Amino acid sequence: MSHIRESDRFETRAIHAGQEANPENGAIMTPVYFTSTYKQDAPAKPRGGYEYSRTSNPTRTALQENLAALEGGLFGLCFSSGLAATNALLDRLVPGDHVVAGNDLYGGTYRIFKRVFERYGIRFTFVDTTEPAQVERALEAATKYVYIETPSNPLLRLTDVAAIATITKRAKKLLVVDNTFATPYLQQPLALGADIVLHSLTKYLGGHSDVVGGALILNDASLRDELAFFQNAVGGTPGPMDCFLVLRGTKTLGVRMDRHGANALAIARYLEKHPLVDRVIYPGLESHAQHGLAKRQMKNFGGMVSFEMKGGVAAGNAVASNTRLFTLAESLGGVESLIETPPSMTHASIPAETRRAAGLADGLVRLSVGIEHVDDLVADLGQALDKARTASPAGAAR
Protein backbone atom coordinates (compact mmCIF):
# COMPACT_ATOMS: atom_id res chain seq x y z
CA MET A 1 0.00 0.00 0.00
CA SER A 2 2.99 2.32 -0.41
CA HIS A 3 1.20 4.63 -2.86
CA ILE A 4 -1.79 5.07 -0.50
CA ARG A 5 -1.71 8.05 1.87
CA GLU A 6 -3.60 8.48 5.12
CA SER A 7 -5.34 11.47 3.56
CA ASP A 8 -6.69 9.43 0.63
CA ARG A 9 -10.46 9.23 0.75
CA PHE A 10 -12.60 6.11 0.88
CA GLU A 11 -13.24 5.74 -2.85
CA THR A 12 -9.53 6.03 -3.59
CA ARG A 13 -8.58 3.47 -0.95
CA ALA A 14 -11.26 1.10 -2.25
CA ILE A 15 -9.56 0.97 -5.64
CA HIS A 16 -5.90 1.08 -4.62
CA ALA A 17 -5.37 -0.24 -1.07
CA GLY A 18 -3.58 -3.59 -1.09
CA GLN A 19 -3.36 -3.55 -4.87
CA GLU A 20 -0.02 -2.58 -6.37
CA ALA A 21 0.66 -3.07 -10.05
CA ASN A 22 2.54 -6.31 -10.72
CA PRO A 23 6.29 -5.45 -10.57
CA GLU A 24 7.15 -7.99 -13.26
CA ASN A 25 4.74 -6.94 -16.00
CA GLY A 26 2.76 -3.92 -14.78
CA ALA A 27 -0.62 -5.68 -14.62
CA ILE A 28 -2.94 -3.44 -12.62
CA MET A 29 -5.34 -6.17 -11.49
CA THR A 30 -4.33 -8.39 -8.57
CA PRO A 31 -3.37 -11.85 -9.90
CA VAL A 32 -5.44 -14.85 -8.85
CA TYR A 33 -2.83 -17.14 -7.30
CA PHE A 34 -4.16 -20.60 -8.04
CA THR A 35 -1.60 -22.50 -6.01
CA SER A 36 -1.79 -24.69 -2.95
CA THR A 37 1.91 -24.57 -2.07
CA TYR A 38 5.04 -22.47 -2.67
CA LYS A 39 8.71 -23.10 -3.40
CA GLN A 40 10.86 -22.39 -0.35
CA ASP A 41 14.29 -20.77 -0.52
CA ALA A 42 15.67 -23.27 2.01
CA PRO A 43 14.20 -25.79 4.43
CA ALA A 44 11.69 -23.95 6.67
CA LYS A 45 12.45 -20.65 4.91
CA PRO A 46 9.36 -19.75 2.87
CA ARG A 47 9.65 -16.87 0.44
CA GLY A 48 7.69 -13.83 1.64
CA GLY A 49 6.09 -15.92 4.36
CA TYR A 50 4.09 -18.04 1.90
CA GLU A 51 4.24 -21.78 2.41
CA TYR A 52 0.69 -23.18 2.08
CA SER A 53 -2.45 -21.49 0.80
CA ARG A 54 -4.67 -22.41 3.72
CA THR A 55 -2.30 -20.31 5.83
CA SER A 56 -1.80 -17.46 3.37
CA ASN A 57 -2.24 -16.63 -0.30
CA PRO A 58 -1.16 -13.40 -2.05
CA THR A 59 -4.65 -12.73 -3.44
CA ARG A 60 -6.11 -13.10 0.05
CA THR A 61 -3.38 -10.85 1.45
CA ALA A 62 -4.40 -8.11 -1.00
CA LEU A 63 -8.04 -8.41 0.01
CA GLN A 64 -7.24 -8.41 3.74
CA GLU A 65 -5.19 -5.24 3.34
CA ASN A 66 -7.92 -3.64 1.25
CA LEU A 67 -10.66 -4.38 3.78
CA ALA A 68 -8.54 -3.19 6.70
CA ALA A 69 -7.94 0.11 4.90
CA LEU A 70 -11.66 0.56 4.19
CA GLU A 71 -12.63 -0.05 7.83
CA GLY A 72 -9.82 2.12 9.16
CA GLY A 73 -8.23 -0.91 10.82
CA LEU A 74 -4.74 -2.35 10.94
CA PHE A 75 -5.50 -6.01 10.29
CA GLY A 76 -7.94 -7.99 8.21
CA LEU A 77 -8.64 -11.73 8.19
CA CYS A 78 -10.76 -13.33 5.48
CA PHE A 79 -12.86 -16.47 5.71
CA SER A 80 -14.93 -18.71 3.47
CA SER A 81 -18.19 -17.18 4.74
CA GLY A 82 -19.49 -14.70 7.28
CA LEU A 83 -20.38 -17.61 9.55
CA ALA A 84 -16.83 -18.96 9.27
CA ALA A 85 -15.67 -15.58 10.55
CA THR A 86 -18.17 -15.83 13.41
CA ASN A 87 -16.95 -19.36 14.11
CA ALA A 88 -13.38 -18.11 14.45
CA LEU A 89 -14.51 -15.59 17.07
CA LEU A 90 -16.29 -18.30 19.02
CA ASP A 91 -13.34 -20.68 18.75
CA ARG A 92 -11.52 -18.41 21.22
CA LEU A 93 -14.06 -19.21 23.91
CA VAL A 94 -14.03 -22.04 26.44
CA PRO A 95 -16.83 -23.69 28.46
CA GLY A 96 -18.34 -21.22 30.89
CA ASP A 97 -17.61 -18.15 28.77
CA HIS A 98 -20.51 -15.81 28.09
CA VAL A 99 -21.64 -13.64 25.16
CA VAL A 100 -24.16 -10.80 25.22
CA ALA A 101 -25.82 -10.47 21.82
CA GLY A 102 -28.59 -8.52 20.16
CA ASN A 103 -32.05 -10.09 20.12
CA ASP A 104 -32.53 -9.19 16.45
CA LEU A 105 -29.82 -11.12 14.61
CA TYR A 106 -29.34 -12.86 11.29
CA GLY A 107 -30.82 -16.35 11.66
CA GLY A 108 -27.53 -18.07 10.84
CA THR A 109 -25.77 -16.19 13.64
CA TYR A 110 -28.47 -17.19 16.12
CA ARG A 111 -28.19 -20.80 14.92
CA ILE A 112 -24.42 -21.06 15.38
CA PHE A 113 -24.75 -19.49 18.83
CA LYS A 114 -27.59 -21.67 20.09
CA ARG A 115 -27.28 -24.94 18.20
CA VAL A 116 -23.51 -25.27 17.84
CA PHE A 117 -21.55 -23.44 20.53
CA GLU A 118 -24.10 -23.59 23.31
CA ARG A 119 -23.60 -27.38 23.25
CA TYR A 120 -19.98 -26.78 24.21
CA GLY A 121 -20.82 -24.81 27.34
CA ILE A 122 -20.72 -21.30 25.87
CA ARG A 123 -23.61 -19.21 27.23
CA PHE A 124 -25.53 -16.53 25.33
CA THR A 125 -27.81 -13.77 26.59
CA PHE A 126 -29.93 -11.91 24.02
CA VAL A 127 -30.99 -8.34 24.78
CA ASP A 128 -32.28 -5.25 23.00
CA THR A 129 -28.97 -3.53 22.22
CA THR A 130 -30.77 -0.32 21.23
CA GLU A 131 -30.99 0.22 25.00
CA PRO A 132 -27.42 0.37 26.38
CA ALA A 133 -28.67 -0.19 29.92
CA GLN A 134 -29.88 -3.66 28.92
CA VAL A 135 -26.43 -4.49 27.62
CA GLU A 136 -24.76 -3.27 30.81
CA ARG A 137 -27.14 -5.27 33.03
CA ALA A 138 -26.45 -8.45 31.05
CA LEU A 139 -22.66 -8.31 31.50
CA GLU A 140 -21.04 -10.91 33.73
CA ALA A 141 -17.51 -11.59 34.89
CA ALA A 142 -17.43 -14.40 32.30
CA THR A 143 -18.62 -12.20 29.41
CA LYS A 144 -16.08 -12.19 26.59
CA TYR A 145 -17.99 -10.44 23.79
CA VAL A 146 -20.82 -8.05 23.25
CA TYR A 147 -22.02 -8.90 19.74
CA ILE A 148 -24.25 -6.48 17.84
CA GLU A 149 -25.63 -5.89 14.36
CA THR A 150 -26.39 -2.32 13.34
CA PRO A 151 -28.55 -1.95 11.35
CA SER A 152 -29.91 -5.30 12.47
CA ASN A 153 -31.30 -8.06 10.27
CA PRO A 154 -34.19 -7.84 9.42
CA LEU A 155 -35.76 -5.19 11.69
CA LEU A 156 -33.14 -2.53 10.86
CA ARG A 157 -32.70 -1.46 14.46
CA LEU A 158 -29.71 0.75 15.15
CA THR A 159 -27.40 0.40 18.11
CA ASP A 160 -25.36 3.33 19.33
CA VAL A 161 -21.89 1.86 18.84
CA ALA A 162 -20.09 4.61 20.75
CA ALA A 163 -22.43 4.23 23.74
CA ILE A 164 -22.00 0.45 23.87
CA ALA A 165 -18.22 0.84 23.41
CA THR A 166 -18.09 3.08 26.48
CA ILE A 167 -19.74 0.29 28.48
CA THR A 168 -17.55 -2.52 27.12
CA LYS A 169 -14.30 -0.61 27.57
CA ARG A 170 -15.18 0.20 31.17
CA ALA A 171 -15.99 -3.47 31.78
CA LYS A 172 -12.95 -4.68 29.78
CA LYS A 173 -15.06 -6.70 27.31
CA LEU A 174 -14.66 -6.95 23.55
CA LEU A 175 -17.24 -5.27 21.34
CA VAL A 176 -17.94 -7.04 18.02
CA VAL A 177 -20.00 -5.21 15.39
CA ASP A 178 -21.47 -6.95 12.36
CA ASN A 179 -21.21 -4.12 9.82
CA THR A 180 -22.60 -6.09 6.87
CA PHE A 181 -25.73 -3.99 6.27
CA ALA A 182 -23.99 -0.61 6.57
CA THR A 183 -20.59 -1.46 5.00
CA PRO A 184 -17.51 0.61 5.83
CA TYR A 185 -18.65 3.21 3.30
CA LEU A 186 -21.61 4.17 5.50
CA GLN A 187 -20.31 3.35 8.99
CA GLN A 188 -16.95 2.58 10.60
CA PRO A 189 -17.42 0.88 13.99
CA LEU A 190 -13.71 0.81 14.87
CA ALA A 191 -13.67 4.61 14.83
CA LEU A 192 -16.70 4.54 17.16
CA GLY A 193 -14.92 2.32 19.69
CA ALA A 194 -15.59 -1.25 18.55
CA ASP A 195 -12.83 -3.84 18.91
CA ILE A 196 -13.70 -6.16 16.01
CA VAL A 197 -15.76 -5.60 12.87
CA LEU A 198 -17.35 -8.58 11.13
CA HIS A 199 -18.57 -8.74 7.53
CA SER A 200 -20.35 -11.17 5.31
CA LEU A 201 -18.42 -10.39 2.13
CA THR A 202 -21.19 -12.17 0.24
CA LYS A 203 -23.33 -9.05 0.53
CA TYR A 204 -22.47 -5.46 -0.38
CA LEU A 205 -18.68 -5.81 -0.35
CA GLY A 206 -18.79 -8.52 -3.03
CA GLY A 207 -21.81 -6.79 -4.45
CA HIS A 208 -22.63 -9.03 -7.40
CA SER A 209 -24.25 -12.15 -5.88
CA ASP A 210 -21.46 -14.37 -7.19
CA VAL A 211 -19.22 -15.06 -4.18
CA VAL A 212 -19.50 -16.17 -0.55
CA GLY A 213 -17.02 -14.91 2.04
CA GLY A 214 -16.48 -13.32 5.43
CA ALA A 215 -13.99 -11.09 7.21
CA LEU A 216 -12.85 -9.79 10.58
CA ILE A 217 -11.12 -6.39 10.85
CA LEU A 218 -9.38 -5.16 14.00
CA ASN A 219 -6.47 -3.16 15.42
CA ASP A 220 -5.06 -5.35 18.20
CA ALA A 221 -2.01 -7.32 17.00
CA SER A 222 -2.15 -10.06 19.65
CA LEU A 223 -5.88 -10.61 19.08
CA ARG A 224 -5.21 -10.72 15.33
CA ASP A 225 -2.60 -13.45 15.86
CA GLU A 226 -4.99 -15.45 18.02
CA LEU A 227 -7.76 -15.26 15.42
CA ALA A 228 -5.30 -16.03 12.61
CA PHE A 229 -4.39 -19.21 14.46
CA PHE A 230 -8.01 -20.36 14.28
CA GLN A 231 -8.30 -19.16 10.69
CA ASN A 232 -5.45 -21.51 9.79
CA ALA A 233 -6.10 -24.34 12.25
CA VAL A 234 -9.80 -24.71 11.44
CA GLY A 235 -9.27 -23.97 7.77
CA GLY A 236 -12.34 -21.91 6.94
CA THR A 237 -10.46 -19.80 4.41
CA PRO A 238 -11.58 -18.43 1.03
CA GLY A 239 -10.06 -19.53 -2.25
CA PRO A 240 -8.10 -17.05 -4.36
CA MET A 241 -10.88 -16.59 -6.94
CA ASP A 242 -13.31 -15.71 -4.15
CA CYS A 243 -10.86 -13.09 -2.91
CA PHE A 244 -10.43 -11.67 -6.40
CA LEU A 245 -14.19 -11.34 -6.83
CA VAL A 246 -14.54 -9.43 -3.57
CA LEU A 247 -11.64 -7.16 -4.56
CA ARG A 248 -13.51 -6.49 -7.79
CA GLY A 249 -16.56 -5.60 -5.73
CA THR A 250 -14.93 -3.23 -3.26
CA LYS A 251 -13.70 -1.01 -6.10
CA THR A 252 -17.25 0.18 -6.79
CA LEU A 253 -18.61 -0.01 -3.24
CA GLY A 254 -18.98 3.75 -2.80
CA VAL A 255 -20.90 4.44 -6.00
CA ARG A 256 -23.09 1.37 -5.48
CA MET A 257 -23.98 2.29 -1.90
CA ASP A 258 -24.96 5.79 -2.97
CA ARG A 259 -27.41 4.32 -5.49
CA HIS A 260 -28.66 1.60 -3.11
CA GLY A 261 -29.40 4.25 -0.49
CA ALA A 262 -31.15 6.67 -2.86
CA ASN A 263 -33.35 3.91 -4.30
CA ALA A 264 -34.19 2.48 -0.87
CA LEU A 265 -35.22 5.85 0.53
CA ALA A 266 -37.54 6.49 -2.41
CA ILE A 267 -39.11 3.03 -2.07
CA ALA A 268 -39.53 3.39 1.70
CA ARG A 269 -41.35 6.68 1.22
CA TYR A 270 -43.58 5.10 -1.43
CA LEU A 271 -44.45 2.15 0.79
CA GLU A 272 -45.11 4.38 3.79
CA LYS A 273 -47.96 6.05 1.87
CA HIS A 274 -49.47 2.83 0.47
CA PRO A 275 -52.85 1.92 2.00
CA LEU A 276 -52.05 -1.81 2.22
CA VAL A 277 -48.79 -1.36 4.13
CA ASP A 278 -49.09 -1.30 7.91
CA ARG A 279 -45.51 -0.36 8.81
CA VAL A 280 -42.31 0.50 6.97
CA ILE A 281 -38.94 0.04 8.66
CA TYR A 282 -36.11 2.11 7.19
CA PRO A 283 -33.57 4.22 9.12
CA GLY A 284 -33.92 7.06 6.61
CA LEU A 285 -37.57 7.66 7.48
CA GLU A 286 -38.43 10.16 10.20
CA SER A 287 -40.79 7.49 11.59
CA HIS A 288 -37.87 5.18 12.41
CA ALA A 289 -37.20 5.04 16.14
CA GLN A 290 -33.45 5.63 15.69
CA HIS A 291 -33.60 8.05 12.76
CA GLY A 292 -31.57 10.63 14.68
CA LEU A 293 -28.89 8.07 15.52
CA ALA A 294 -28.82 6.96 11.89
CA LYS A 295 -28.08 10.51 10.80
CA ARG A 296 -25.22 10.76 13.32
CA GLN A 297 -23.71 7.30 12.87
CA MET A 298 -24.16 6.56 9.15
CA LYS A 299 -23.26 8.37 5.95
CA ASN A 300 -26.58 7.39 4.38
CA PHE A 301 -29.23 4.88 5.34
CA GLY A 302 -28.38 1.81 3.27
CA GLY A 303 -30.22 -0.38 0.81
CA MET A 304 -32.38 -2.57 3.09
CA VAL A 305 -36.09 -1.93 3.64
CA SER A 306 -38.52 -4.05 5.68
CA PHE A 307 -42.29 -3.67 5.83
CA GLU A 308 -45.40 -5.33 7.22
CA MET A 309 -48.62 -5.77 5.26
CA LYS A 310 -52.02 -5.05 6.78
CA GLY A 311 -53.17 -8.44 5.53
CA GLY A 312 -50.50 -10.30 7.48
CA VAL A 313 -48.78 -13.45 6.25
CA ALA A 314 -51.01 -14.07 3.23
CA ALA A 315 -50.62 -10.53 1.94
CA GLY A 316 -46.86 -10.53 2.55
CA ASN A 317 -46.44 -13.81 0.72
CA ALA A 318 -48.56 -12.51 -2.15
CA VAL A 319 -46.35 -9.45 -2.59
CA ALA A 320 -43.16 -11.52 -2.43
CA SER A 321 -44.54 -13.98 -4.99
CA ASN A 322 -45.70 -11.47 -7.59
CA THR A 323 -42.81 -9.12 -8.28
CA ARG A 324 -41.15 -8.99 -11.67
CA LEU A 325 -37.85 -7.18 -10.99
CA PHE A 326 -37.49 -7.99 -7.29
CA THR A 327 -36.34 -11.63 -7.31
CA LEU A 328 -37.71 -13.90 -4.58
CA ALA A 329 -34.42 -15.06 -3.04
CA GLU A 330 -32.37 -15.08 0.15
CA SER A 331 -29.23 -13.00 0.68
CA LEU A 332 -28.83 -9.30 -0.09
CA GLY A 333 -26.45 -6.60 -1.24
CA GLY A 334 -26.18 -7.40 -4.94
CA VAL A 335 -26.80 -4.95 -7.75
CA GLU A 336 -30.14 -6.66 -8.42
CA SER A 337 -33.15 -6.19 -6.16
CA LEU A 338 -34.31 -9.10 -3.99
CA ILE A 339 -37.43 -9.74 -1.92
CA GLU A 340 -38.01 -12.32 0.81
CA THR A 341 -40.14 -13.17 3.84
CA PRO A 342 -37.69 -13.59 6.76
CA PRO A 343 -39.86 -15.77 9.05
CA SER A 344 -40.00 -18.53 6.45
CA MET A 345 -36.63 -17.94 4.77
CA THR A 346 -33.53 -16.27 6.27
CA HIS A 347 -34.79 -16.41 9.89
CA ALA A 348 -36.60 -19.75 9.87
CA SER A 349 -33.94 -21.20 12.19
CA ILE A 350 -35.15 -18.90 14.99
CA PRO A 351 -38.15 -20.31 16.91
CA ALA A 352 -41.39 -18.48 16.12
CA GLU A 353 -41.97 -17.39 19.70
CA THR A 354 -38.44 -15.98 19.89
CA ARG A 355 -38.89 -14.09 16.62
CA ARG A 356 -42.20 -12.62 17.70
CA ALA A 357 -40.87 -11.59 21.11
CA ALA A 358 -38.13 -9.63 19.34
CA GLY A 359 -40.71 -7.88 17.16
CA LEU A 360 -40.27 -9.92 13.99
CA ALA A 361 -43.85 -10.31 12.75
CA ASP A 362 -44.85 -13.37 10.72
CA GLY A 363 -45.93 -11.16 7.80
CA LEU A 364 -42.69 -9.20 7.51
CA VAL A 365 -41.28 -8.63 4.02
CA ARG A 366 -37.62 -7.66 3.49
CA LEU A 367 -36.28 -5.88 0.43
CA SER A 368 -32.68 -5.68 -0.72
CA VAL A 369 -33.02 -2.69 -3.00
CA GLY A 370 -30.70 -2.88 -5.99
CA ILE A 371 -29.36 -0.25 -8.36
CA GLU A 372 -31.95 -0.57 -11.13
CA HIS A 373 -33.88 2.58 -12.11
CA VAL A 374 -35.98 3.52 -9.10
CA ASP A 375 -39.13 4.22 -11.15
CA ASP A 376 -39.09 0.64 -12.47
CA LEU A 377 -38.68 -0.73 -8.94
CA VAL A 378 -41.55 1.36 -7.58
CA ALA A 379 -43.79 0.27 -10.45
CA ASP A 380 -42.92 -3.37 -9.79
CA LEU A 381 -43.83 -3.13 -6.12
CA GLY A 382 -47.00 -1.27 -7.05
CA GLN A 383 -48.29 -4.04 -9.29
CA ALA A 384 -47.35 -6.70 -6.70
CA LEU A 385 -49.21 -4.77 -4.01
CA ASP A 386 -52.25 -4.57 -6.27
CA LYS A 387 -52.20 -8.36 -6.62
CA ALA A 388 -51.92 -8.71 -2.85
CA ARG A 389 -55.29 -7.01 -2.36
CA THR A 390 -57.11 -10.26 -3.10
CA ALA A 391 -55.00 -12.10 -0.52
CA SER A 392 -55.75 -9.60 2.23
CA PRO A 393 -59.09 -9.11 3.97
CA ALA A 394 -57.98 -5.59 4.82
CA GLY A 395 -57.17 -4.93 1.18
CA ALA A 396 -60.42 -6.44 -0.05
CA ALA A 397 -62.37 -4.17 2.29
CA ARG A 398 -60.83 -1.16 0.62
- Which of 203, 256, 299, 355 does the annotation list as catalytic? 203
- Which of 54, 92, 279, 387 does the annotation list as catalytic? 54
Please give the Cα distance from 73 to 236 (Å, whole number): 22
Verify whether residue 54 is a known catalytic residue.
yes
Verify whether residue 91 is a known catalytic residue.
no
Helix ranges restricted to H, the chain = 10-16, 58-71, 82-91, 107-111, 132-138, 161-171, 183-186, 221-234, 240-250, 253-272, 291-297, 312-321, 352-357, 374-388, 393-397
Angle, CA of 52, 58 and 59, to the nearest 5°: 115
Q: Which helix (H) or strand (E) holds 33?
A: none
What does the buried/exposed string (b/e) look like for 230-243 if buried means 16 or more CB atoms within 10 Å of the residue's CB? bbbeeebbbbbebb
- Which of 50, 106, 147, 270 does the annotation list as catalytic? 106
Verify whether residue 106 is a known catalytic residue.
yes
- Which of 97, 104, 160, 178 does the annotation list as catalytic? 178
Please give the Cα distance from 175 to 196 (Å, whole number): 6
Verify whether residue 375 is a known catalytic residue.
no
Please give the Cα distance from 53 to 303 (Å, whole number): 35
Catalytic residues: 54, 106, 178, 203
